[in-house]
Structure 1
Amino acid sequence: MRTNPTHTSLVAVGDSFTEGMSDLLPDGTYRGWADILAARMAAVAPGFRYANLAVRGKLIRQIVDEQVDAAAAMRADVVTLVGGLNDTLRPKCDMVAVRDLLTEAVERLAPHCKQLVLMRSPARQGPVQERFRPRMEALFTCVDELAERHGALVVDLYGAPSLGDQRLWDVDRLHLTGDGHRRVAEAVWQTLGHPPEDPEWQLPPPASLPPGWTERRVADARFARQYLLPWIGRRLTGRSSGDGLPPKRPELLPYDLR
């Protein structure tokens, strides 16, 4: 692995994971791993520029159609691409189509950046992960194959014990907490060849007493009311949480550390 690399620009492509949900800031916006990574890279590279084209809820077809060409045109030093997981969580998912679209995205991005970064996305331990595990692992096999073929780096978040821990996931059970995003940023930082700032990012938080039966049932009811039922409603009506939302940071501009 290279050490102390110099990268002067970063473009992030993807969905809610890359947008930063649910690393919520006091002003109501999301930070997330890509912003944390950009801040670190800017601290060691004068004139560093950053764009984040991610929009929550996007499927791989939408990422290819709406983000890939824009990202390629920016010709950044580093491009991160994370997509396809939303597709695997749909009741009906054509994994051949997902694989083909991810391949198309990589083929269009790799020639136009110095380093493409792909990821094996994290998964919260629980019944959802078990139900969709075959699809997820098929997606990650595709990621590994594409990385080998195109010289991309792969960040293995799926295999990190810390990121499967339910305590690092928000109450919506779909998105990481701030600590989870910090660990993802650390993983990408190290994969790019930078010296570790947190060598133990893969380790779960210290053990704690699990919630009792009543607390779990209250949490389940809140989850169903606030998140699961609205999610089902959007699926039934063909809507997405990202409908009408612009990219998080659509232009490749200098990153202000203040």
Structure 2
Amino acid sequence: MSKALAGKVAAITGGASGIGLASLEAMLAAGARVVLIDRDEAAVMAIAEQQGDAVIPLVIDLLDPQRCAQMVPQILEKAGQLDIFHANAGMYVGGDLVDAEPDAIDRMLNLNINVVMKNVRDVLPHMIARGTGDIIVTSSLAAHFPTPWEPVYASSKWAIDCFVQTTRRQVFKHGIRMGAVSPGPVITALLADWPAEKLQEAKESGSLIEASEVADVILFMLTRPRGVTIRDVVMLPTNFDL
């Protein structure tokens, strides 16, 4: 594979599993060093040991406001620069709204919206000072149409998709590209809350995406000429509408 990201430093939140891990592997293969940010210390350290010096481990619970505020200073202390920020950490609450626990709603909205906004805000001064940078946010197909089985989750992604598109229009003048990748159902731990029969039906019908396929799209977004911004990629399984 071409080392299109050679010399670049990326940071990925929620990078120890699912789309985040697939993104990490794709960026490593393209020559980047990657700061792996996740709250799962055992998983972070295992991946760092497996992948070698190109992975810089950073264990942070982003729902801890003080730890979250220290993320960017720690990235810069460990890596010296930041060229790519992939805001990927998120959680899922599905099912009928009446059955959702208030604490679960608060945690999900905090992580899926507030943390992303704060993380992006914190990386911008460094990227603005350097006059370059790429910010990718993991959104969802749920951001693009109302999905009746996940009103809380879908609402968080509608909000963050608006954030990406409005902030992009503020920062492009600084040489910073910003975009969202919006996949349909991906085979990750986030689907653990799906009803068993729905998940089995989706698997059997070919209505799920592999995390590696999302990572391929992210790498495509990052490797366009600097004069081209991929603003938003919506990707879904071909059989999604069956």
State the aligned residue count: 178
* Letter paired with 1:70: Q
Q: Distance in 2 between matches of 1:98 and 1:8?
A: 28
* Letter paired with 2:8: S
Q: Partner of 2:18 in structure 1?
A: 22
Q: Distance in 1 between matches of 2:219 and 2:87?
A: 12
Note the C-alpha offset of 1:33.
0.9
Q: Distance in 2 between matches of 1:101 and 1:77?
A: 16
Bigger share in strand: 2
Q: Partner of 2:176 in structure 1?
A: 152
Q: Distance in 1 between matches of 2:17 and 2:113?
A: 28
Give matches, 1:65-214, under 5 Å: 65-73=69-77, 74-76=79-81, 78-82=83-87, 90-91=105-106, 101-102=118-119, 104-111=121-128, 115-123=132-140, 125=142, 126=147, 127=150, 128-158=152-182, 163-164=183-184, 166=185, 168-170=186-188, 172-173=190-191, 179-193=210-224, 203-207=235-239
Structure 2 runs not aligned, ≥5 long: 40-60, 94-103, 194-207, 226-232
Q: Deviations over 1:149-204 (max 9, x none)?
A: 5321223313xxxx12x2x23353289x882343234333343227xxxxxx9653
CA contact (8 A) 2:141 2:236 kept: no
1:50 aligns with 2:33: yes
Q: Partner of 1:33 in structure 2?
A: 23
CA contact (8 A) 2:137 2:164 kept: yes
Taking only the aligned residue pairs, the percentage that are identical comes to 8
Q: Distance in 2 between matches of 1:208 and 1:97?
A: 30
Describe the shift of the 1:132–1:9 C-alpha distance in structure 2 as closer, same or farther (beyond 3 A).
Answer: closer
Q: Deviations over 1:5-57 (max 9, x none)?
A: 6631323142x2xx14226xxxxxx8321221221x22xxxxxx513231145
Note the C-alpha offset of 1:62.
5.5
Q: Partner of 1:228 in structure 2?
A: none
Structure 1 runs not aligned, ≥5 long: 24-29, 43-48, 195-200, 211-258
Q: Distance in 2 between matches of 1:191 and 1:114?
A: 16
Note the C-alpha offset of 1:83.
6.1
After TM superposition, the score normalised by the length of structure 1 is 0.50
Describe the shift of the 1:141–1:121 C-alpha distance in structure 2 as closer, same or farther (beyond 3 A).
Answer: same
Q: Distance in 2 between matches of 1:182 and 1:206?
A: 13
RCO higher in structure (CA 8 A, sep ≥6):
1
* Letter paired with 2:239: A
**SS of alignment partner, residue 18 of structure 2:** coil
CA contact (8 A) 1:12 1:80 kept: yes
**SS of alignment partner, residue 205 of structure 1:** coil
After TM superposition, the score normalised by the length of structure 2 is 0.53
